[in-house]
Amino acid sequence: MMQFRLEKRREPSRFMLYATPVAAVFLTMVIGAIIFSAIGFDGIGAVREIFLTPLTNSYKWQDLGVKAAPLIIIGVGLSIAYRANVWNIGAEGQYIMGGLAATWVALASHGSGGWWTLPAMMLAGMAGGAAYGAIPALLKTRLNVNEILTSLMLTYASVQLIYYLVRAPWKDPMGMGFPQTRRFASEALLPNIFPGTIVHAGVPIAVIVALIAWFIMSRSVFGYQMRVVGAAPHAARYGGFSENKTIWLALLVSGGLAGLAGMLEVAGPFQRMVPGFPTNYGFTAIIVAFLGRLNPLGVIFAGIVMAITFVGGEVAQTTIGLSNSATGVFQAMMLFFLLAGDILVRYRLKRVVPQTEARV
Amino acid sequence: MTLNRRNLLKIGGAAAALPLLGSKAFAQTEPLKVGFVLVGTINDNGWNYAHNQGRLYLEEQLGDAVETVYVENVPEGPDCERVLRELAQQGCKLIFATSFGFGDSVIKVAEQFPDITFEHATGYMRADNVGTYNARFHEGRAVCGTIAGHMSQTGKAGYIGSFPIPEVVMGINSFVLAARKINPDFTITPVYISTWNDPAKEADAARAMIDQGIDIIAQHTDGPAALQVAEERGIVGGFGQGADMSAFAPQAQLTSIIDNWGPHYVKTAQAVLDGTWESKDSWPGLAEGEVQIGPYGPKVPEAVIAAAEAVKNGQIDGSFNIFTGPINDHTGAEKVAAGVTLTDAELLSMDWYVEGVIPPA
Q: Are strands B237-242 and B253-259 parallel, antiparallel or unpaired?
A: parallel
Q: Is A3 exposed, middle or buried (0-12, 13-18, 19+ CB in 10 A)?
A: exposed
B72 vs A52, A178, A324: nearest CB:
A324
DSSP line for A25-89: HHHHHHHHHHHHHHTTS-HHHHHIIIIIHHHH-THHHHHHHHHHHHHHHHHHHHHHHHHTT----
> What DSSP element (H or E) covers A107?
helix A91-108
B164 vs A53, A56, A177: nearest CB:
A177
| Chain A residues 244-303 with a CB less than 8 Å from chain B | 265, 269-272, 274-277, 279
Q: In chain A, what residues touch B21 (CB-CB under 8 Å)?
A: 44, 48, 52
Q: In chain B, what residues touch A317 (CB-CB under 8 Å)?
A: 69-72
* Res. B292: pLDDT tops 50: yes
Nearest CA in chain A to B1: A38
Tell how many helices (H) and how many strands (E) occur in chain B. 11, 14
Beta bridge partners of B256: B240
Taking the CB of residue B275, how many other CB atoms lie within 10 A of it? 6
Residue contact B72–A323, C-beta within 8 A: yes
Residue contact B104–A271, C-beta within 8 A: yes
B71 vs A52, A57, A318: nearest CB:
A318
Mean pLDDT of chain A: 89
Contact A46, A36 (CB under 8 A): yes
B16 vs A30, A265, A319: nearest CB:
A30
A192 touches chain B (CB under 8 A): no
Q: Are strands B66-71 and B216-219 parallel, antiparallel or unpaired?
A: unpaired
A52 vs B7, B23, B73: nearest CB:
B23
Q: B32-133: CATH homologous superfamily?
A: Response regulator (3.40.50.2300)
Residue A280 C-alpha, separation from nearest chain B C-alpha, in angstroms: 11
Which CATH entry fits the domain spanning B137-259+291-348: 3.20.20.60, 3.40.50.10860, 3.40.50.2300, 3.40.50.300?
3.40.50.2300
Angle CA B267–B272–B273, to nearest 5: 95
Segment A2-20 mean pLDDT: 79
* Res. A250: pLDDT tops 60: yes
Contact B170, B138 (CB under 8 A): yes
Q: In chain B, what residues touch A40 (CB-CB under 8 Å)?
A: 1
Segment B120-128 mean pLDDT: 91
Residue contact B90–A319, C-beta within 8 A: yes
Mean pLDDT of chain B: 89
Which residues lie below 8 Å from residue A178, measured CB to CB, with a gap of 6+?
A172, B100, B101, B163, B165
* Res. B25: pLDDT tops 80: no
B169 or A355, which is more confident: B169
Contact A299, A284 (CB under 8 A): no
* Res. B136: pLDDT tops 70: yes
CA pair distance B8, B127, nearest whole angstrom: 53
pLDDT band at residue A354, thresholds of 50, 70 and 90?
low
pLDDT band at residue B231, thresholds of 50, 70 and 90?
very high
A168 touches chain B (CB under 8 A): no
Contact A161, A24 (CB under 8 A): no
Domain architecture of chain A: domains with CATH: 3-352 (1.10.3470)
pLDDT band at residue A21, thresholds of 50, 70 and 90?
confident
Contact A73, A205 (CB under 8 A): yes
- At B163 the three-state DSSP class reads coil
A167 touches chain B (CB under 8 A): yes
Segment A297-304 mean pLDDT: 93
Angle CA A227–A229–A230, to nearest 5: 65
Segment B134-152 mean pLDDT: 95
Nearest CA in chain B to A49: B23
Segment B30-41 mean pLDDT: 92
Of chain B, the percentage scoring pLDDT greater than 70 comes to: 92
A104 touches chain B (CB under 8 A): no
Among the residue ranges A194-203, A212-221, B184-193, the one predicted with the least confidence is A194-203
A58 touches chain B (CB under 8 A): no
pLDDT band at residue B320, thresholds of 50, 70 and 90?
very high
DSSP line for A125-156: HHHHHHHHHHHHHHHHHHH---HHHHHHHHHH
Residue contact A274–B101, C-beta within 8 A: yes
Interface probe, candidates A160, A314, A327, chain B, greatest B C-beta count within 10 A: A314
A34 vs B15, B24, B76: nearest CB:
B15
- At B17 the three-state DSSP class reads coil
The tally of CA atoms less than 13 A away on the side-chain side of residue B290 is: 19
pLDDT band at residue A358, thresholds of 50, 70 and 90?
low
Which residues lie below 8 Å from residue A192, measured CB to CB, with a gap of 6+?
A198, A199, A200, A201
Pinpoint the residues of chain B covered by CATH 3.40.50.2300: 32-133, 137-259+291-348
pLDDT band at residue A234, thresholds of 50, 70 and 90?
confident
Residue contact B15–A198, C-beta within 8 A: no
Residue contact B82–A177, C-beta within 8 A: no
Segment A166-175 mean pLDDT: 84
Q: Give the residue among A29, A4, A27, A20 at the shortest CA–CA distance from A308.
A: A29
Give the dihedral sign, CA A326/B104/B198/A65: positive
A270 vs B24, B35, B78: nearest CB:
B78
Taking the CB of residue B183, how many other CB atoms lie within 10 A of it? 15
Angle CA A60–A66–A70, to nearest 5: 145
Residue contact B24–A319, C-beta within 8 A: yes
Of chain B, the percentage scoring pLDDT greater than 90 comes to: 74
Among the residue ranges A170-179, A198-207, A326-335, B292-301, the one predicted with the least confidence is A170-179
A311 touches chain B (CB under 8 A): yes
B124 vs A29, A176, A269: nearest CB:
A176
Rounded to two decimals, the ipTM of the complex is 0.73
Question: Residue B27's pLDDT is what?
Answer: 41
Residue B155 C-alpha, separation from nearest chain A C-alpha, in angstroms: 28
B79 or B13, which is more confident: B79
* Res. B361: pLDDT tops 80: no
A58-105 confidence digits (pLDDT tens): 778 888 999 999 999 999 999 999 999 999 999 999 999 999 999 999
Residue contact A163–B194, C-beta within 8 A: yes
Q: How many CB pairs under 8 A join A and B?
A: 123
Segment A258-275 mean pLDDT: 94
pLDDT band at residue B18, thresholds of 50, 70 and 90?
very low
pLDDT band at residue A258, thresholds of 50, 70 and 90?
very high
Question: Residue B16's pLDDT is what?
Answer: 47
Give the dihedral sign, CA A162/A166/A167/A169: positive
pLDDT band at residue B285, thresholds of 50, 70 and 90?
very high
